[in-house]
Structure 1
Amino acid sequence: MREAAPDSSSIAADMALQLGVRANQGPSELSVRAAARPSFPVAGADRASAATIAIVKVRRRWLDYLTCLSVRMLTAVLHCFPVDANLRTARWLGRMWYRFPRWLPLIGPALARHGRRAEEHIRLAMPELPEAEVRRIACESMQSLAMLAIEVLFTPRLISLWSWRRYVSLDGLAEPLRIMLGREGCIMLTAHYGNWEVLGFTLATLGADIVAVMRPLDNEYLNDFLMAQREPSGLRLLYKKGATRSMSDVLDDRQALCFIADQNAGSKGLFVPFFGRPASTYRSIGLLAIRHRVPIIVGCARRVGNRFRYEVVVNRIIRPADWEHREDELTWITSEFTRAIEEFVRAAPEQYLWIHRRWKSQPRPPRANAAPASTAEPNAEWQGTPADG
Structure 2
Amino acid sequence: MNRTKLIIDYAAYVAVRTVVCIIQAAPLTTCQAWSRRLGWLFWHVLKLRRATVEENLRTAFPEKSPAEHEAIALAMWEHLLLMVCEIAHAPRKINRTNWRTHLSMPQMPLMVRRLLDRRPVVIISGHLGNFEMGGYLLGLHGFPTHTIARTLDNGYLDRWINEFREATGQYILPKHGSSQQIEELLKSGGTLVLLGDQHAGEAACWVDFFGRPASTHKAVALFTLSGNAPTATGCVFRKGKPMHFEMRVAELVDPADADFQLGSIPLLTQWYTRRLEDLIRVAPGQYWWLHRRWREQKNNGRQRRDRRRGKDQLRSAA
TM > 0.5 fold call: yes
Q: Partner of 2:243 in structure 1?
A: 308
- CA–CA distance in structure 2, aligned partners of residues 266 and 352 of structure 1: 21
Taking structure 1 as the reference length, the TM-score comes to 0.75
2:62 is equivalent to residue 127 of structure 1: yes
Q: Partner of 1:259 in structure 2?
A: 194
- CA–CA distance in structure 2, aligned partners of residues 371 and 113 of structure 1: 34
Gaps of 5+ in 1: 1-53, 101-110, 377-389
Deviations 1:153-196 (A, max 9, x none): 11222222112111111123211221113343110111101100
User: CA 1:327–1:73 in 2, change beyond 3 Å: closer, same or farther?
Assistant: closer
Q: Secondary structure at the match of 2:167?
A: helix
2:29 is equivalent to residue 84 of structure 1: yes
Q: Partner of 2:283 in structure 1?
A: 348
CA contact (8 A) 2:144 2:168 kept: no
Q: Partner of 1:365 in structure 2?
A: 299
Map 1:179-198 onto structure 2 (within 5 A). Answer: 179-198=114-133
CA contact (8 A) 1:190 1:299 kept: yes
Identity %: 29
Map 1:203-222 onto structure 2 (within 5 A). Answer: 203-222=138-157
Q: Secondary structure at the match of 1:290?
A: helix
User: CA 1:116–1:323 in 2, change beyond 3 Å: closer, same or farther?
Assistant: farther
Deviations 1:245-276 (A, max 9, x none): 11111111101101111110011110000000
Amino acid at match of 1:363: Q
User: CA 1:70–1:279 in 2, change beyond 3 Å: closer, same or farther?
Assistant: same
User: 1:327 deviation in Å?
Assistant: 8.3
Map 1:1-389 onto structure 2 (within 5 A). Answer: 57-100=2-45, 111-321=46-256, 326=261, 329-360=264-295, 362-367=296-301
CA contact (8 A) 1:328 1:375 kept: no
CA contact (8 A) 1:323 1:332 kept: no
- CA–CA distance in structure 2, aligned partners of residues 327 and 260 of structure 1: 19
User: CA 1:367–1:231 in 2, change beyond 3 Å: closer, same or farther?
Assistant: closer
Q: Secondary structure at the match of 2:152?
A: coil
CA contact (8 A) 2:23 2:31 kept: yes
User: 1:322 deviation in Å?
Assistant: 6.0
Amino acid at match of 2:8: L
Runs of 4+ that moved beyond 3 A: 321-328, 370-376
User: 1:67 deviation in Å?
Assistant: 0.9
- CA–CA distance in structure 2, aligned partners of residues 140 and 252 of structure 1: 41
Instruction: Give the number of aligned pairs.
Output: 309
User: CA 1:169–1:375 in 2, change beyond 3 Å: closer, same or farther?
Assistant: same
User: 1:143 deviation in Å?
Assistant: 1.3
User: CA 1:154–1:324 in 2, change beyond 3 Å: closer, same or farther?
Assistant: same
- CA–CA distance in structure 2, aligned partners of residues 356 and 272 of structure 1: 17
Amino acid at match of 2:6: R
User: 1:334 deviation in Å?
Assistant: 0.4
Amino acid at match of 1:65: Y
Per mean C-alpha deviation after superposition, the further-off stretch among 277-286 and 301-310 is 301-310
User: 1:367 deviation in Å?
Assistant: 4.2
Deviations 1:19-41 (A, max 9, x none): xxxxxxxxxxxxxxxxxxxxxxx
User: CA 1:95–1:214 in 2, change beyond 3 Å: closer, same or farther?
Assistant: same
User: CA 1:181–1:93 in 2, change beyond 3 Å: closer, same or farther?
Assistant: farther
Amino acid at match of 1:311: E
- CA–CA distance in structure 1, aligned partners of residues 152 and 180 of structure 2: 22
CA contact (8 A) 2:120 2:229 kept: yes
User: 1:326 deviation in Å?
Assistant: 4.5
Q: Partner of 1:4 in structure 2?
A: none
Q: Secondary structure at the match of 2:25?
A: coil
Higher relative CO (CA 8 A, sep ≥ 6), structure 1 or 2? 2
- CA–CA distance in structure 2, aligned partners of residues 279 and 92 of structure 1: 33
Per mean C-alpha deviation after superposition, the further-off stretch among 193-202 and 148-157 is 148-157
Taking structure 2 as the reference length, the TM-score comes to 0.90
- CA–CA distance in structure 2, aligned partners of residues 192 and 245 of structure 1: 26
